Amino acid sequence: MRRLTARQVSVLAAATAMVSIGATVPTGGPAASAAPAASADEPRKTPVAVGSGGAVASVDANASAAGIEVLRGGGNAVDAAVAVAAALGVTEPYSAGIGGGGYLVYYDAKSRTVQTIDGRETAPRTAGPDLFIENGKPLPFSEGQTSGLSVGTPGTPATWATALDSWGSRDLGELLAPAQRLAKDGFTVDATFRAQTESNRARFEDFPDTAKLFLPGGRLPVVGSTFKNPDLARTYRELARDGVGALYRGAIGRDIVRTVRTPPVGEGVTRKVRPGELSSRDLRAYETIRRTPTKVSYRGLDVYGMAPSSSGGVGVGEGLNILERFDLANTSEQRFLHRFIEASRIVFADRGRWVGDPAFEDVPARGLLSQRYADSRSCLIKDNAVLTSPLAPGDPADPRPCRPKGKAAPTTHAAESTTHLTVADKWGNVVAYTLTIESTGGSAMTVPGRGFLLNNELTDFSFAPANPAVHDPNLPGPGKRSRSSMSPTIVLDGGRPVLAVGSPGGATIITTVLQTLLGRLDRDLPLVEAIAAPRASQRNQTTTELEPGLWNSPLRAELEALGHGFRQNPEIGAATGVERLSDGRWLAAAEKVRRGGGSAMVVRPSDGRCDTARCGTADIAPR
């Protein structure tokens, strides 16, 4: 990876200015509409920013601004990450919020270590492998999705508390203030928020509390109007005053349990909404887990990620290890994509067989992340042929070259929503944090009077084994965490952070993060272009998903000639990241177009000119 020169930075800044006023985006990206102009009092949305004092990248300008406010006031990256996440709970209520969970990866500049928090939702203590089985058959996904059955104990408030107790310098109450303000005073509705409401309309209408909040007057929120959530402002005030115990042991928790056990459906609603068995005891028992991160070395850099219960760190790490033996820098785009697709296919064959909650499954994470294992899988990739899916997994305990282990199982269903934020501070601490309520709109159940949606994270469990002849490590269990794909990632060079990225997108997260890393590290794209590049996602399925930017490109025919099959996906992921430039400044980057464009900010923006002797000359090229 070559660090950006000052000249590249200023060219980028100019290109970015064009994007932020709605000009056509020249590179990649699906055909979503560009961000509408923000109203005068809203922070401006721009996908890349360069400067010093710290950086924030998220999908939303109000949320990024909340983080910048904290950094400016002397808070650190962890403080700012909590403030950004809380603000996203207001402005991205269908993707994040205190009714959900997530994973936080943190680089601590003082100890020069990477640490993580697993804040995944847990299944009720009464859950068993038959959680989603009825009359001997698995429920259709949509019926599990909108039900009390799929609601796990939220992990997000506990994640904030754990992060602040461990590394923060501010009180939760103080950090919730910007989000509380946003909820009370409102934010400007954009086209993405309206479209996400529209796609959930039928579900939301069935729950009066959800409809009252998100379909005011029975209508979709109007683009440009102000959206307020006074109930959430009050809930945040309660958390600020009483701490997260108000949720795990107090009144907010009681309201959550009541909602799950007696779903608040409207009168005359025909949808069958099954209750869940979540209890106050489940909430009281909830704990975050400080896990050792996954780590692989890739072309001389150290890549850290989230360990199981997420399959993110293992998936991205195995993918990098598999690809390390190929020269991806000096090859055609077609060959690069072919190798990336094939590596992803292998990763998902292994993920399906081996990865689940390590409290319940013997997950061979070390083996899956070993270079020896990756080499034994990498030999499957041929430049003139395409592998067939479903591909059988390998055996990390016995990594013989190209030798499968048992039968193949297809990848089970995974929805796509969630949000990712990345923060760096002036001390060099970095946070990559992905959080979710699972589907866009979660379970569709708003906790009455509380202003937030409950997750449907337990639908990330397999409802039934994908192949009855193959052990499935991701069946439900009591207190178990469903397997995630969230992949917050931090890359170090010589022990110092140079890059951090992550994305939403269900199981496509793994391929998005992998593709973004390869784009930046191997293909030498500036981070914002690596994020914008049109995406492909192969998850051990017969066809590979392509965004329109690739679907409509001649590359598709070239890859089809090799034997690849494709289907379209209008939009995959919505990544954000930060990068440390060679002169010590931060570059924050977000989407140019996807989800209406993201928001990158720095504490003290620089004009892009080279102002130190070191600026832009050093590089950390892969060794």
**What does the longest C-alpha to C-alpha distance in the chain come to?**
71
Q: Is 509 in the site for ligand GLU (CB under 6 A)?
A: yes
Minimum distance, C-beta of residue 505 to ligand GLU, in the bound complex (Å)? 5
Encoded amino acid at 147, one letter: S
Q: Is 516 in the site for ligand GLU (CB under 6 A)?
A: no
CA distances to 2, 48, 234, 597 from 214, in Å? 45, 31, 17, 22
Residues in the chain: 623
Binding part of the chain for ligand GLU, among 47-55, 149-157, 397-405, 413-421 by CB under 6 A, reads 413-421
Binding part of the chain for ligand GLU, among 265-273, 385-393, 502-510, 561-569 by CB under 6 A, reads 502-510
Q: Is 117 in the site for ligand GLU (CB under 6 A)?
A: no
CB-based contact 4:579 (threshold 8 Å): yes
Q: Is 417 in the site for ligand GLU (CB under 6 A)?
A: yes
Q: Name the phi and psi angles at 226, rounded to 5.
A: -95, 130
Nearer to ligand GLU (CB atom), residue 293 or residue 526: 293
Tell which one of 92, 438, 545, 583 touches ligand GLU (CB under 6 A): 438
Token pair belonging to 584: 């010590």
Cα 336 from Cα 326, distance rounded (Å): 9
Q: What is the DSSP string of 547-582?
A: -HHHHTSHHHHHHHHHT--EEE-S-----EEEEE-T
Report the candidate in 367, 344, 332, 385 with the shortest Cα–Cα distance to residue 514. 344
Binding part of the chain for ligand GLU, among 58-66, 209-217, 498-506, 519-527 by CB under 6 A, reads 498-506
Q: Is 504 in the site for ligand GLU (CB under 6 A)?
A: yes
Nearer to ligand GLU (CB atom), residue 100 or residue 616: 100
Which residues, numbered 525-544, are part of the site for ligand GLU (CB under 6 A)? none
Nearer to ligand GLU (CB atom), residue 51 or residue 276: 276
Q: Is 282 in the site for ligand GLU (CB under 6 A)?
A: no
Binding part of the chain for ligand GLU, among 8-16, 74-82, 212-220, 481-489 by CB under 6 A, reads 481-489
Which residues, numbered 365-404, are part of the site for ligand GLU (CB under 6 A)? none
Q: Is 486 in the site for ligand GLU (CB under 6 A)?
A: yes
Q: Name the phi and psi angles at 152, rounded to 5.
A: -100, 165
Minimum distance, C-beta of residue 586 to ligand GLU, in the bound complex (Å)? 26
Tell which one of 505, 519, 526, 616 touches ligand GLU (CB under 6 A): 505
Cα 65 from Cα 56, distance rounded (Å): 8
Helix axes 508-521, 312-323, angle to 10 degrees: 40
Which residues are marked as active site? 418
Any idea what the Cα angle at residue 474 is, between residues 277 and 145, rounded to 5°? 50
DSSP E strand boundaries for 266-387: 294-298, 301-305
Q: Is 411 in the site for ligand GLU (CB under 6 A)?
A: no
Residues in the interface with ligand GLU (CB under 6 A) total 15
CA-based R_g, the chain, Å: 23
Tell which one of 416, 529, 547, 583 touches ligand GLU (CB under 6 A): 416
Q: Is 476 in the site for ligand GLU (CB under 6 A)?
A: no
DSSP E strand boundaries for 281-347: 294-298, 301-305
Tell which one of 16, 153, 294, 418 touches ligand GLU (CB under 6 A): 418
Q: Is 460 in the site for ligand GLU (CB under 6 A)?
A: yes
Cα 510 from Cα 165, distance rounded (Å): 29
Q: Is 180 in the site for ligand GLU (CB under 6 A)?
A: no
N-term to C-term CA, the chain: 9
Task: Summarize as ranges the residues that interact with ligand GLU (CB under 6 A).
Answer: 415-418, 436, 438, 457, 460, 484-486, 504-506, 509
